[in-house]
Amino acid sequence: MGIGVTSGEADAWSDRFEQGLNPFIEEFNASIGFDITLLHEDLDASIAHAHMLGDCGVITLQESKELEGGLEQIRDEFLEGKFNPNLTDEDVHFAVERRLINLLGNLGKKLHTGRSRNDQVGTDLRLWLRRKIDEIDIEIERLQKALFLKSESNLYTLIPGYTHLQRAQPISLAHHLLAYIEMLQRDRDRLQDTRRRVNHSPLGAAALAGTSVPIDRLKTASQLGFEKIYSNSLDAVSDRDFAVEFSGASALVMVHLSRLSEEIILWASEEFSFVRLTDRCATGSSLMPQKKNPDVPELVRGKSGRVFGHLQGLLTMMKGLPLAYNKDFQEDKEALFDVVHTLKTCLKAMSILIEEGLEFCPERLALAVASDFSNATDVADYLVQKGVPFREAYQLVGRLVKQCLSQGNLLRDLSLDQWKALHPSFEEDLLEKLTPVKVVSARISEGGTGFDRVEEQLQLWRSRLVLTTQ
Ligand code: ARG
């Protein structure tokens, strides 16, 4: 039998309870196995609460000082590995309170004045998530920087651009990589947006209805760095939409990482051979000595499913809950903890992969862009410039491609006479316009892959990302 925080004598609640919990139910009910993750936030919020109780005259200033000291001592004990809650504590909130009562006796019992575990857990979770969003932002920026450095050194490296995974038009490799930097920037913006809504304090909403104790919610909110307080006490303790929103934003980051992973896996295949995996991030096969496997992007692609699953889990957990707090909410934690852990580790792994795990193969890329029909649009555009309607030009080039395919030729193999025989508007200058470099340079519309345009984008990102290596 353990010693519960509420009675101090038996593992029961108020004197209303006469029997102890069934041991299996005790374990089933407990969250201490995972919510110990929130210990620092629980201590921070409790310190702010104790401070405010003193300031408001609910307890004496001396008492609030002693409570704060006791809470700091628990932090020290934890850091020294001496704070070891057990199942009878049920959760991190009870574990801290139990230890405080051990340390301070009756004074420890005053801490819970004017609050409930319902507003307490909501406060802890928001403080924790706010910190994690800031850490994730740093990880996303690191990946953007890694992609930027690869972009910068590959402005003039060409790579086939695809639609439907069919060769479409050649593009600058920098342009391709910058597309991911853009996606990641939107991810950062979304997370910052979420952070604004995470940063509201529910503390002082108490169980659901507020409290008759003369507390000051603004004081605790400002000590904890919250931007504002929830205006409605029921909403304050029932809201987990911030967790859903965060998981949604995280799911999109994972979508982006997964798409990048998929491309790297394809590029590293024998068939593409656009990149070589270095030994830093690739593994071998236990059986086939020639193999080098792209485990890192495969794992990232695979782990995206966990994050999507947690998002679905949170939505389903919340959808039918009546106001206000329900124990179902306890299920939010493991989901959220795993989303954060998965996201942070995948971001870090992808950064390392880009930084030191792969090398582009310029010779293979050059061969790829020179040996296809991805300049066909440019022939049509040439005719358009000479006044031929686009549809007519499009049909003509289509016929031409068909003819070349049957003869095993590329467009560049045709002589000027052959071109002229097809249409009188073709002149000498056509031939040089069809080289991959010229084809790419010509795409000068805003946001296009023309080198000048991509250079502009590189300049922009160079200043936005504040690259210390420059
Ligand atoms: N461990 C609980 C949770 O994570 C803390 C809040 C408990 N509140 C309650 N009324 N039982 O949600």
Domain boundary among 321, 349, 367: 367
- 105's torsion region: left (phi>0), alpha (psi -120 to 50) or beta? left
Q: What is the CATH number of the domain that holds 56?
A: 1.10.275.10
Q: What is the CATH number of the domain that holds 427?
A: 1.10.40.30
What gap in Å lies between CA 127 and CA 40, rounded to an integer?
A: 9
The rounded Å distance from CA 28 to ligand 1 centre is 13
Residue 276, helix vs strand vs coil: strand
426 CB within 6 A, ligand 1:
no
What gap in Å lies between CA 364 and CA 275, rounded to an integer?
A: 9
What gap in Å lies between CA 89 and CA 106, rounded to an integer?
A: 18
- Say if 469 falls within a structural domain: no
Q: At what angle do helices 295-318 and 241-267 cross, to 10 degrees?
A: 160
- Say if 1 falls within a structural domain: no
User: What is the DSSP annotation of 340-353?
Assistant: HHHHHHHHHHHHHI
pTM: 0.94
Q: Whose CA is nearest to atom 3 of ligand 1?
A: 330
Token pair recorded at residue 84: 């070891």
pLDDT tens for the chain, 470 residues long, are: 344 565 544 454 777 888 889 999 999 999 999 999 999 999 999 999 999 999 999 999 999 999 999 999 999 999 999 999 998 999 999 999 999 999 999 999 999 999 999 999 999 999 999 999 999 999 999 999 999 999 999 999 999 999 999 999 999 999 999 999 999 999 999 999 999 999 999 999 999 999 999 999 999 999 999 999 999 999 999 999 999 999 999 999 999 999 999 999 999 999 999 999 999 988 877 777 777 899 999 999 999 999 999 999 999 999 999 999 999 999 999 999 999 999 999 999 999 999 999 999 999 999 999 988 888 989 999 999 999 999 999 999 999 999 999 999 899 889 899 899 999 999 999 988 899 999 999 999 999 999 999 999 999 999 999 775 44
Q: HSE-up of 254 (CA within 13 Å, CB side)? A: 28
pLDDT of residue 5: 63
Residues 65 and 89 in one domain: yes
Under a CB-based contact definition with an 8 Å cutoff, are residues 372 and 160 in contact?
yes
Token pair recorded at residue 345: 């580790």
Q: Is 285 a catalytic residue?
A: yes
**Number of domains present in the structure of the chain:** 3
What gap in Å lies between CA 27 and CA 362, rounded to an integer?
A: 59
Residues 332 and 435 in one domain: no
Residue 26, helix vs strand vs coil: helix
The rounded Å distance from CA 12 to ligand 1 centre is 16
* Closest by CA position to 123, among listed 242, 21, 27, 19: 242
What gap in Å lies between CA 200 and CA 226, rounded to an integer?
A: 5
What gap in Å lies between CA 39 and CA 128, rounded to an integer?
A: 10
Q: Could you tell me whether strands 228-229 and 200-201 are parallel, antiparallel, or unpaired per DSSP bridges?
A: parallel
In sequence order, the β-bridge partners of residue 166 are 163
- Say if 381 falls within a structural domain: yes
- Residue of 36, 327, 334, 337 to mutate, ligand 1, most atoms within 8 A of C-beta: 327
In sequence order, the β-bridge partners of residue 167 are 162
Domain boundary among 113, 132, 152: 113
Q: Whose CA is nearest to atom 12 of ligand 1?
A: 330
What gap in Å lies between CA 209 and CA 12, rounded to an integer?
A: 25
What gap in Å lies between CA 265 and CA 353, rounded to an integer?
A: 12
